[in-house]
Amino acid sequence: MPIHHRVICSTISLRRHPLDQALCLISDLGFAAIDLGALPGVCDHVPYELTAEAVTEVAGVIGRSGLEVRSINADVGDLNREVTDGEQIARNEHLERLFDLAEQVGAPAIVLPCGSQGHEPLQDLTTDIKRVAASLRHAAQLAAVRNLEIWVESQHSGRLCYSFERAQQLTAELTGSDVRSVLDFSHVVASGDDILTWIDRLAPEIAHVHIRDARRGDIHLSPGNGDVDFVSAFSALSAAGFSGDFSLELETDDISEDDRPAAALRAGELISSLL
């Protein structure tokens, strides 16, 4: 089965390969587009110390691959941490380099996380979520100058907004902004929440979907090996009018490294069959 044009592959799926090799494998598998991983400690395909030279180098590698880039999944620090003026300037500079990269590779959006690693707030929950929202609003204002968007993975089982309840709080704080949400099935299920409830309550906010399977407490499973009900989730998204992309973010540990490309192909064909 050919890969549907809305099913794309995150470079996080092949994060242990150098970027050029990962892109070659993704293209050979039949994918036409990627999400670009730029998460320090998770996927280093984009250097965290992002200089102008690094931007040009990464953009060149991607350009030669012929793959389209649908988003850049990045991290610019803990958005719930109070920062000094100097730290804010440095964060702004990091964002601007990410925007440079997005422009050079044709990506429409940067994805940012929903706060620091861990579930405990750095000050208190209300203050922390307000800081995350304010940081995202600020980033979106900077991005809009470049005709780019900011998306947030508003529920992440390993971060501040780990639950649906906290994702709803963050979304409420972002009301009226241009920041939209990335729905990751695995983080919802791993946190013990319900994907259909998520879609029912927050469907208008969903810009993008990350695909991986999960069980309660475990996000590292390939599609079909966990508790995500993909058929029901896709049906609900279709009924809600979602027309965005589905990105395979196969940061899984139920397969060997040698089997990872084949597993990405199996996942791509599975998700394509649901569209």
How confident is the model over 4-34, as pLDDT tens digits?
999 999 999 999 999 999 999 999 999 999 9
Q: What is the pLDDT of residue 13?
A: 96
Note the pLDDT tens digit of each residue in 133-164: 999 999 999 999 999 999 999 999 999 999 99
Q: Which residues of the chain have pLDDT under 70?
A: none
Q: What is the pLDDT of residue 127?
A: 98
Closest to 209 measured CA to CA, from 239, 173, 185, 241: 185
SS3 33: strand
- Domains belonging to the chain, first-starting first, are 7-273 (3.20.20.150)
Using the structure block, give the residue that is written with the tokens 């993909």. Answer: 230
Q: What is the pLDDT of residue 1?
A: 79
- Alpha-carbon span 152 to 147, nearest angstrom: 17
Q: What is the pLDDT of residue 41?
A: 86
**Full-model pTM:** 0.97
**DSSP for residue 268:** H
